[in-house]
Amino acid sequence: MIGRFLALFLLLATPLRAEIAIQDVTSPGGLKAWLVEDHSIPFTALEIRFRGGTSLDAPGKRGAVNLMTGLLEEGAAEMNAQKFAETRDGLAAEFRFDSSKDDVAVSARMLTENRTQAAELLRLALTRPRFDADAVERVRGQVLSIIRSNAKDPSAIAGRTLDGIAFGDHPYASSGDGTEDSVQALTRDDILTAHTAALARDRVYVAAVGDITPEQLGALLDHLLGGLPETGAPLPGAARLDLTGGVTVVDFPTPQAVVSFAQPGLERDDPDYFAAFVLNEIVGGERFGSRLMRELREKRGLTYGARSYLIDYDHADLLAGQFATDNKTAGQAVDVLRAEWARAAEGVTAEELAAAKTYLTGAYPLRFDGNGPIARILVGMQMTGLPIDYSATRNQKIEAVTLDDIRRVARRLIRSDQLRIVVVGQPEGLSTAP
Amino acid sequence: MRNTVTAALLWSASATFALAEGPVTDFTLDNGLQVVVIEDHRAPVAVQMMWYKIGAADEPQGHSGIAHFFEHLMFKATNDLKPGEFSDIVEAQGGNDNAFTSWDQTAYFQRVAADRLDLMMTIEADRMRDLQLTDDVVATERNVILEERNQRTDSDPSSLFMEQLRAAQFLNHPYGVPIIGWRQEIEGLGRAEAEDFYRTYYAPNNAILIVAGDVTPDAVRAMAEKHYGPLTPTANLPVRKRPQEPPQLAERRLTMHDKRVSEPFMMRTYLAPNRRTGDQKTAAALVYLGELLGGSGTTSLLARKLQFEDPKAVYSYAYYDGTALDYGQFTIGMVPLPGVKPEEAEAELDGVLKDFLATGPDPAAFARIRTQLHASEIYAADDVDGLARRYGDALTTGLTVADVQAWPEVLQSVTPEDVMEAARQVLDRRHSVTGWLLTEEDAQ
């Protein structure tokens, strides 16, 4: 029970060596999972990811994987949607099904006392969904409602516009929800195709945390996932990034402009990844003390919050960010952003580096707080291809970053000439020249 | 007073589920600061939360937003710290800190490695009494808050709509004022108002300290005595007595159009009883009512009738919020299917309510909800921050530690008859506001 917080001990005055508590489990049927056993609360958090997600939509079928995912809890085997929900709620089990650019995510919480029944129900949802005609129409209506709502949401418009500019003809360029037209046109066959394309054993990652033993987990996995097809649809190739410097304005009637920006990022396995990660923490990270927060919020009161982040999609890497500011101050705020981008290219001070390192190394173990959060971290580590002892070495990699490393990566990474800024609103004082 | 209860004891009636929540201890310092310690030794992490019994509903009239404004100013300079240094110190420890304001409370919290708790108490105690404001700091932060209002409210028609709805629900009680404040009143907030507010309400006898995580009550007590013990209480702290509602005799209706709306949306709120100390039965029954009517997007009554049997709605929902000092609210609503007229959809919804009042809950649905509420206590034990918030919410709204610990059992004791009695009391249109947020085209 101690070992799962191994990383924290690196922070303490007397470093302790605890046993690695993440177990690498292989089921009798050959399925892999990472497990942290903790028997103090009688439930198990289970996280399953299928790589591919909405990027597996067949040509002309945009939105199929998303709609299919939304239908997994709408009836399975002999149960219609009502019966399925009644059974799940009667067991007090909790299932969530989500899709994103890179995966279909299944999150479950199951009580120990009825885990067998809950897992059986989840198995039926994953392997024998019904996709009944009335359920398809109902969930299609919900998806269309979201699409129409996002069409009038400034943040959603900004994200979609930036994706469209950045990703060319790659699936990443458009929303995985699909368009009103594409979703209207989806048939039950399209949904069945999306199901066999997206949920397959060759792309599954599993983490479990809680009141379950390796043997119990192995048996559960074979039962849960054994009935899925061996292979799914091929993944899309790498996206060719098409980002140039400059501002794109999308006229929208709102008092506050949303500003989203992006430039090319860095591969997760790049030797300078950690230096770039620390650099971003200094420029636009999670702290109130980041440069963007200091300059835009604390000094000038131009925004409620500003952030930047490294995005590591499976098929593209970005350095991106977002803030919102009054239309009247949009020009001024974008000028500040550009000045900070230019300054970032020059590196950081020793004090900034030290403060970022203390924060990042201290904050990391605090993330491991509860069965659900730990399971999500562990499944993410597997999808990123990190080793099982990563959490024990991650802070050492942060500590090892030097000012020279940051200078080197800043020169290479920060590209004002490829920083595309999308402004949704009716901004004033904005120069659209690069 | 020292009162240690292991919450698991409360579960003797339902022994099939073991409960994992650790022990909870509470005591009060001589200067009036109440302290609650929630132990969870699974991880060497602690959260400190300082809750003040001051919120948007306690603001002087015409100064809406000052409680929230003050929440921001608490991160500025004290006689020992520079502006922003508070967060710098927390972040230098790898911690997270933030704060939030509601109608009944303002709370500040930090999550850190458990061995940094003493430092967190040092700086939290420092800013309880020693904040030093300047006109510049106040002016810049006012702009940040106007941007926050822009982002959260003015950029989002549904937030604007709910703000209007709430203002119409409360005829006299300040729950009708938005937490962030009305724009023109935020613009008028200055240093003098802020300082008066601070001196009165930021005091140990108006606060509750909650420490949760890998801590022991004895260690927390010693640290709290050292850091908070010397702080002076506010003499003659104003009694929290807000203007109360007159009898609500007339149903209210609102229609709002906005060109940023993509499709019609309905929300209706009813004035409802709150959780009261020693008397939480009606509130518990209203939790069931919310779950029965609209808790599940599939099996609840509204979902079944409006989305499944004879589809009129894309979504429907119902919920009860009763952890409040003066009044709770019961909320229902829906998004109609395209092509279904708002009045037609609303008539269907009212038909469902009428049938429910005539026939009562389906026993199987009632039993499922009871099971889920029971199990939610097991899942809740996985989230010590959530447990800390439960106590903070309750203790700033007139409830006691004993009320919080009794709540799961009160929920288990609710009968279908209790639900029907509460439903008949609350689902009275005279106490309600019905609002429709419509597209610009619907305005014709």
Whether residue B5 has pLDDT greater than 90: no
User: Tokens 């707080």 belong to which residue?
Assistant: A369
* Span(s) in chain A for CATH 3.30.830.10: 18-225, 246-425
| pLDDT interval class at A15 (50, 70, 90) | very low
Whether residue B12 has pLDDT greater than 50: no
| pLDDT interval class at B193 (50, 70, 90) | confident
Please report the residues numbered 185 through 244 in chain A whose beta carbons come closer than 8 angstroms to any beta carbon of chain B.
none
Residue B71 falls in the annotated catalytic set = yes
Cβ-based burial of A180 (10 A; exposed 0-12, middle 13-18, buried ≥19): middle
Whether residue A431 has pLDDT greater than 80: no
C-beta of residue B336 within 8 angstroms of C-beta of residue B354: no
- According to DSSP H, which parts of B21-156 are helical? 66-73, 85-92, 117-129, 135-149
Instruction: Tell me phi and psi for residue A84, to 5 degrees.
Output: -60, -50
**Mean pLDDT computed over A112-136:** 98
Instruction: Say whether residue A267 is in contact with chain B using an 8 A CB cutoff.
Output: no
Instruction: Name the percent of chain A lying above pLDDT 90.
Output: 89
B-chain residues within 8 Å CB-CB of A370?
382-384
Please report the residues numbered 313 through 332 in chain A whose beta carbons come closer than 8 angstroms to any beta carbon of chain B.
324-326
pTM: 0.91
B110 φψ region: left (φ > 0), alpha (ψ -120 to 50), beta (else)? beta
Distance CA B235, CA B374 (A): 43
**Mean pLDDT computed over B287-303:** 96
Question: Cβ separation of B260 and A253 shorter than 8 Å?
Answer: yes
- Residue A37 bridge partners (DSSP): A210
Whether residue B14 has pLDDT greater than 70: no
Whether residue A6 has pLDDT greater than 80: no
User: Tokens 């190394």 belong to which residue?
Assistant: A361
B181 φψ region: left (φ > 0), alpha (ψ -120 to 50), beta (else)? left
The shortest CB-CB distance from A289 to any of B20, B91, B338 is to: B91
| pLDDT interval class at A369 (50, 70, 90) | confident
Whether residue A113 has pLDDT greater than 60: yes
| pLDDT interval class at B21 (50, 70, 90) | low
Closest-CA residue of A relative to B337 is A141
Distance CA B37, CA B65 (A): 31
Q: How far is CA A145 from CA A1, A139, A150, B31, in A?
A: 45, 10, 9, 55
Half-sphere exposure of residue A116: CA atoms within 13 angstroms, side-chain side: 3
What are the tens digits of pLDDT across the range A79-107?
A: 999 999 999 999 999 999 999 999 999 99
CATH number for the region B252-443 comes to 3.30.830.10
pLDDT at res. B194: 87
Closest-CA residue of B relative to A294 is B84
Half-sphere exposure of residue A195: CA atoms within 13 angstroms, side-chain side: 19
Distance CA B117, CA B110 (A): 9
- Mean pLDDT rounded to a whole number for chain A: 93
Q: Which of B68, B115, B144 should one mutate to test binding to chain A, selecting the residue with the greatest count of A CBs within 10 A?
A: B144
| Amino acid letter for position A169 | D
- A419 or A1, which is more confident: A419
Dihedral angle over CA of A150, A153, A154, A160, nearest 10 = 0
Largest CA distance in chain A: 65
Distance CA A3, CA A9 (A): 9
Convert A170-179 to b/e letters by CB count within 10 Å (16 or more is b).
bbbebbbbbe
Instruction: Say whether residue B134 is in contact with chain A using an 8 A CB cutoff.
Output: no
Whether residue A144 has pLDDT greater than 70: yes
- Cα dihedral B200, B204, B207, B213 sign: positive
Q: Crossing angle of helices A273-284/A350-366, nearest 10°?
A: 100
CATH class of A246-425: alpha beta
**DSSP code, position B62:** T
Catalytic: which of B71, B193, B291, B348? B71
pLDDT at res. B200: 93
Query: In B224-324, where do the E strands start and end?
Result: 252-258, 265-272, 313-321
Q: How far is CA A17 from CA A4, A7, A23, A373, in A?
A: 12, 10, 17, 23
Q: Would you list the DSSP string of A89-157?
A: HHTT-EEEEEE-SSEEEEEEEEEGGGHHHHHHHHHHHHH-B---HHHHHHHHHHHHHHHHHHTT-HHHH
pLDDT at res. A288: 87
What tokens appear for A19 in the block?
A: 């046993």
Give the domain B3-227 fold.
Cytochrome Bc1 Complex; Chain A, domain 1 (3.30.830)
The shortest CB-CB distance from B43 to any of A11, A73, A369 is to: A369
Write out the H or E segment, with its range, that includes residue B164: helix B157-169
- Residue A373 bridge partners (DSSP): none
| pLDDT interval class at B300 (50, 70, 90) | very high
Instruction: Name the percent of chain A lying above pLDDT 70.
Output: 95
Instruction: Say whether residue A389 is in contact with chain B using an 8 A CB cutoff.
Output: no
| Amino acid letter for position B386 | G
Lowest mean pLDDT among A133-147, A186-200, B2-16, B211-225: B2-16
- CATH for A18-225 (3.40.50.300, 3.30.70.20, 3.30.830.10, 3.90.1010.10): 3.30.830.10
C-beta of residue B99 within 8 angstroms of C-beta of residue B74: yes
What are the tens digits of pLDDT across the range B158-184?
A: 999 999 999 999 999 999 999 999 999
Question: Cβ separation of B147 and A302 shorter than 8 Å?
Answer: yes
pLDDT at res. B83: 86
- According to DSSP H, which parts of A213-329 are helical? 214-225, 273-284, 291-292
What are the tens digits of pLDDT across the range A278-297?
A: 999 999 998 888 999 999 99
- The reply to whether B3-227 and B252-443 are identical in fold is yes
Domain range summary for chain B, segments of one domain joined by +: 3-227, 252-443
Distance CA B97, CA B35 (A): 19
Instruction: Say whether residue B136 is in contact with chain A using an 8 A CB cutoff.
Output: no
Whether residue B418 has pLDDT greater than 60: yes
| pLDDT interval class at B125 (50, 70, 90) | very high
Question: Cβ separation of A369 and B384 shorter than 8 Å?
Answer: yes
Q: Would you list the DSSP string of A322-391?
A: EEEEEGGGHHHHHHHHHHHHHHHTT---HHHHHHHHHHHHHHHHHT--SHHHHHHHHHHHHHHT--TTHH
Residue pairs spanning A and B at CB distance below 8 A: 194
Please report the residues numbered 193 through 222 in chain B whose beta carbons come closer than 8 angstroms to any beta carbon of chain A.
none
- B1 or A288, which is more confident: A288
**DSSP code, position A409:** H
